Amino acid sequence: MPKGDGTGPMGAGPGTGRGMGGSGMGQGQGRGRMGGFGLGAGGNCVCPSCRKTIPHQQGVPCTQVKCPACGAAMTRER
């Protein structure tokens, strides 16, 4: 697009029909952003002692997380 702001005549046209009953559609778009946040972290922390796995918290190294089951230091899985 020459303008690049997304407000062109194609998106604003009445042909889409989303403007009339689109309240539900709007919520769907917001939920999509939330799902992307969860997938962004990636990976798990695994306990080398009892093999318990927990979701890795972004910004917190697994080696600084203690196993909730046995208290050992976790390590990064994969």
Question: Using the rule CB under 5 A, is 69 a contact of Zn ion?
Answer: yes
DSSP 37-70: HHHHH--EEE-TTT--EEEPPTTS-GGGSBPTTT
Question: Using the rule CB under 5 A, is 12 a contact of Zn ion?
Answer: no
The interface region with Zn ion, picked from 20-28, 30-38, 40-48, 58-66 by CB under 5 A, is 40-48
Tell me which of 41, 53, 70, 77 binds Zn ion, using CB under 5 A. 70
Question: Using the rule CB under 5 A, is 68 a contact of Zn ion?
Answer: no
Count CB-CB contacts under 10 A for residue 46. 19
